[in-house]
Copies of this chain bind each other. A is one copy, B any other.
Amino acid sequence: MPERQSSRKDAIRNREAVLAAADTLFTRRESPEDVTMADVAAAAGVGKGTLFRAFGDRAGLLRALYEARLEPIRHAIETGPPPLGPATPPHDRVPALLDAILCFKLDNRRLALALEEGGGSSPYRAEHYERWHSLLRAVLEQIPGLADSGFTAHVLLAATRADLVEHLAGEERIPRERMRPQLANFVTRVLAADPLQGFTTEE
């Protein structure tokens, strides 16, 4: 519905203005909860109608912001050099992916929080989650001796959920420099194929 590109310059200008205003508001305000649509409209110097026509609803606005921020990372993953790019061996790429996600969430705490937790429907229905999951699952599948790659992918992603990251960074005051190796260490432990319990140990 609201995905049409308009050629009118006022429409374009307003869309930009809204995006910029929302971005500012979400990073400034403490909780994403208290950024209302009316706030965004006012900050952008625009009426609510404009805002809703451009983005459909609250989730649409969040999604637009999110995608914009995510774009560089996505690009680095799809067509970039190692350790994120597709040429990386799975054992190294999985930690790299999760580290990238973690850093992204750290850099966009409020926004990620608003998108993942705000609104009624679960984050697992968002199609961007679906993308992360199938990518991670595919990479995990290339690691021999690792069962349940779908489940594992879900759990690894759960380790980088916005509200957990927010809690660790905000409440527990864990700085990024400690959090990244903790996650990396955890991922390593998960990936370490245990020689004791192998089905595929022979050959």
Task: List residues of A whose CB falls within 8 A of some B CB.
Answer: 31, 33, 113, 117, 120, 122-125, 147-148, 150-152, 154-155, 158-159, 161, 163-164, 166-168, 171-172, 179, 182-183, 185-186, 188-190, 192, 194, 196-197
Contacts and interface: CB of A to CB of B under 8 A. Distances in A.
Nearest to A152: B186
Contacts of A171: 124-125
Nearest to A181: B148
Identical chains in the assembly: 2
B122 A186 contact: no
A122 B167 contact: yes
A186 B185 CA distance: 15
Nearest to A196: B192
Contact of A117 (B122, B155, B159, B166): B122
